[in-house]
């Protein structure tokens, strides 16, 4: 996608359902345009998202990834009753405007109780729901149960529990993670396959400084 920054922001502002104008996270050059670059770098065909609100991140994926096939999300509608239906509409409209084939989409309000039996592998999981540590730990556990090649998540650098949950999980599994430091509020990336190539591609994707976080602080 050539120069996605302007296009993505314009597209999000033009979707049928939007948050209050002027919201910093909606307008930031370092959020949705960078999500587009991260999605293009990882190029998943299926994405599971936990925390979708009005669907901006998935709408970004819908226009950034022509080969995207399936999106699923979990959102308990804590921000806005009925937001899952509005998100579905935003994602559909974004996809239509991009001129790509429609996506298979599915959403629910709670992590399914039969998560362990679902066996529904999703190439990428994006975590952006409740940022308290216990909730992020649960979301990460769900991502591993579903099965994925990569987990990313927002607000790593905000006060809350995102960083603690990611560090604890990565230490337990003895795996590394990356942090896109200049992404608005920080984005973590846990590559589960081919981490060296993911790092190399991200470094080329113009998404600012990347910190490599080895398990146990590299000790
Ligand atoms: C920051 S918004 C997500 C923004 C979205 N990813 C985007 O970029 O457009 C967080 C969402 O998480 C949802 N949420 C909060 N707690 C949750 C939970 N325990 N389970 C699922 N969703 C939750 C809220 O309803 C809200 O819609």
Beta carbon of 79 within 6 Å of any ligand 1 atom: yes
Which pTM value belongs to this model?
0.95
CA distance 139 to 209: 26
How far, in Å, is the centroid of ligand 1 from the Cα of 113? Answer: 19
What pLDDT is stored for residue 22 in this prediction? Answer: 58
What pLDDT is stored for residue 140 in this prediction? Answer: 98
How far, in Å, is the centroid of ligand 1 from the Cα of 73? Answer: 10
Beta carbon of 90 within 6 Å of any ligand 1 atom: no
Sign of CA dihedral 109, 111, 115, 118: positive
**Cβ atoms within 10 Å, residue 185:** 17
Q: Are 172 and 208 in contact (CB under 8 A)?
A: no
What pLDDT is stored for residue 4 in this prediction? Answer: 46
- Which protein residue has the closest C-alpha to ligand 1 atom 16? 130
- How far, in Å, are 15, 64, 116 from residue 3 at the CA level? 19, 11, 40
- Which protein residue has the closest C-alpha to ligand 1 atom 8? 57
Ligand 1, residue 87: give the atom nearest the CA: 9
Beta carbon of 130 within 6 Å of any ligand 1 atom: yes
DSSP state of 96: H
What pLDDT is stored for residue 23 in this prediction? Answer: 65
What pLDDT is stored for residue 5 in this prediction? Answer: 44
CA distance 130 to 162: 9
pLDDT (tens, 9 = 90+) of the chain, 219 residues, equals 444 444 899 899 889 998 766 566 677 889 999 999 999 999 999 999 999 999 999 999 999 999 999 999 999 999 999 999 999 999 999 999 999 999 999 999 998 877 656 668 999 999 999 999 999 999 999 999 999 999 999 999 998 899 999 999 999 999 999 999 999 999 999 999 999 999 999 999 999 999 999 999 988
Beta carbon of 43 within 6 Å of any ligand 1 atom: no
How far, in Å, is the centroid of ligand 1 from the Cα of 87? Answer: 11
- Which protein residue has the closest C-alpha to ligand 1 atom 11? 51
Angle at 200 between CA 140 and CA 202, to 5 degrees: 55
Q: Which two tokens stand for residue 93?
A: 């409209």
What pLDDT is stored for residue 104 in this prediction? Answer: 96
Beta carbon of 156 within 6 Å of any ligand 1 atom: no
């Amino acid at each position: 996608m050539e120069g996605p920054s302007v296009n993505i922001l314009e597209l999000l502002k033009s979707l049928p359902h939007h948050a209050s104008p002027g919201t910093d996270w909606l307008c930031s050059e370092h959020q949705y345009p960078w999500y587009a670059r991260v999605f293009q770098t990882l190029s998943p065909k299926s994405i599971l998202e936990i925390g979708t609100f009005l669907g901006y991140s998935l709408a970004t994926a819908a226009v950034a990834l022509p080969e995207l096939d399936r999106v699923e999300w979990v959102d308990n509608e804590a921000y806005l009753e009925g937001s899952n239906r509005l998100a579905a509409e935003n994602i559909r409209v974004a996809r239509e405007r991009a001129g790509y084939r429609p996506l298979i989409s599915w959403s629910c309000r709670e992590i399914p109780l039969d998560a362990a039996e679902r066996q529904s592998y999703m190439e990428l999981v994006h975590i952006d729901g409740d940022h308290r540590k216990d909730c992020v730990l649960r979301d990460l556990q769900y991502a591993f149960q579903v099965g994925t090649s990569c987990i990313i998540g927002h607000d790593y650098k905000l006060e809350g529990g995102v960083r603690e949950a990611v560090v604890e999980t990565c230490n337990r599994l003895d795996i590394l993670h990356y942090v896109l430091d200049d992404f608005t509020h920080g984005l973590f990336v846990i590559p589960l396959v081919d981490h060296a190539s993911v790092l190399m591609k991200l470094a080329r994707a113009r998404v600012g400084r990347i910190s490599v976080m080895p398990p146990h602080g590299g000790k």
